A = this chain, B = another copy of it.
Amino acid sequence: MIEDGLWRRVDVAHLAVLRELAEHGSVTAVARATALSPSAVSQQLKVLQRRLGVVLVERAGRGVRLTDAGRALAGIAASVSTALATAEADWQRYRGGVGGTVRLATFHSAGELLVPGLLDRMAQHPGVVLETVDEDVLQDDFAGLTADYDVVVAHRSDDVVPPRRDGLEVRLLLREPLDVALPLDHPLAGRDRVTPADVIDEDWIAPPPEFPIDRVLTALAAQAGRPVRVVRRTTHLPLTEKLVARGHGIALLPRHTTRDRAEGRLALVPLADLRAGRVVEALMRPDRAARRSVQVVLEALVAEAASYA
């Protein structure tokens, strides 16, 4: 027998906390993200469980873990958040104005490429405050950033299956081929394309093996039939460009990002016989994507990215 009105006393704020817990994984992390004390978060969870008469959270070692019921309710809470955000967006649409703070995470090269133009475009919406933060993480970790940021600009190589991003809104920003970067005085610099065989015996500068670009390099080696010789590994693209320009090696670099920054100081030559590129996209939680201010930022971001295609 189920008592009537149990759910009536459930507060949407409590549901939101549960949902954040599902994404952040610890009470302390939720407290940080919500500007509350850990005790407050813990109390909210306790109240929620008492009102529903169900165990949602259990201790696991030093931290906590959601029970099955907790996970289920967290999923429901996510849809509630989305509905609430949609309602707010409808209201803002009715009122005409757009306002609020949007937190945007970019990896370095995308920030360099897109943020200046994005800020120019956002000048049309003085009510929207845009906070941009650089976060360079591995390909699979971008999704996790959506717990902390409204919009996450992520990249992945386009030859593999996309990493898991269940329940996230995804918007394509840029499809960016990887070109071979050569010093201007290199024999191949004038070519309109090069094959893997042309470049396999050069000295290469590449990122660490976990990064998408390096996987392309692996594919290139496979196609040429010989291993590639990597003389230096760095994740810092501007450094890579400078090294290439001075003849310390050649590299695979994203076309638009690089051209925007280093045009004229090195040559970018398309790679033949190998599909090599990376995809830049925006990731958002649905409730955040529903916010009017986020939508405005996203549209500006898409427009800015399109100007490089």
User: Which of B5, B80, B127 has a CB less than 8 Å from the CB of A87?
Assistant: B80
Considering the chains assembled together, what is the distance between the CA atoms of A39 and B100 in angstroms? 33
A143 CB to nearest chain B CB (Å): 24
CB of A76 closer than 8 Å to a CB of B = yes
User: Which of B4, B12, B79, B87 has a CB less than 8 Å from the CB of A76?
Assistant: B87
For A101, list chain B residues within 8 Å (CB).
4
A106 CB to nearest chain B CB (Å): 22
CB of A84 closer than 8 Å to a CB of B = yes
Considering the chains assembled together, what is the distance between the CA atoms of A86 and B87 in angstroms? 15
A15 CB to nearest chain B CB (Å): 8
With contacts A3-B99, A88-B7, A99-B1 taken as known, whether A79 is within 8 angstroms of B83 at the C-beta atoms is yes
Considering the chains assembled together, what is the distance between the CA atoms of A69 and B95 in angstroms? 8
Considering the chains assembled together, what is the distance between the CA atoms of A87 and B72 in angstroms? 11
Considering the chains assembled together, what is the distance between the CA atoms of A91 and B129 in angstroms? 37
Considering the chains assembled together, what is the distance between the CA atoms of A99 and B98 in angstroms? 42
With contacts A4-B100, A129-B4 taken as known, whether A94 is within 8 angstroms of B72 at the C-beta atoms is yes
CB of A243 closer than 8 Å to a CB of B = no
CB of A123 closer than 8 Å to a CB of B = no
Considering the chains assembled together, what is the distance between the CA atoms of A72 and B90 in angstroms? 9
A90 CB to nearest chain B CB (Å): 5
For A99, list chain B residues within 8 Å (CB).
1-4
CB of A162 closer than 8 Å to a CB of B = no
Interface residues in A1-38 by Cβ distance below 8 A to B read 1-5, 7, 12, 15
The proximity string for A residues 62-102 relative to B, scoring 1 for CB distances below 8 Å and 0 otherwise, is: 00000001001100110110011011101110110111110
With A4-B99, A77-B87, A79-B87 known, 6 other A-B pairs at CB within 8 A are A2-B92, A2-B98, A12-B84, A72-B91, A76-B91, A83-B87
Interface CB pairs A-B, < 8 A, 23: A1-B97, A2-B92, A2-B99, A2-B127, A4-B100, A4-B101, A4-B129, A5-B100, A7-B88, A12-B12, A15-B87, A69-B94, A69-B95, A72-B91, A73-B94, A76-B87, A76-B90, A77-B87, A79-B83, A80-B83, A80-B84, A80-B87, A83-B87
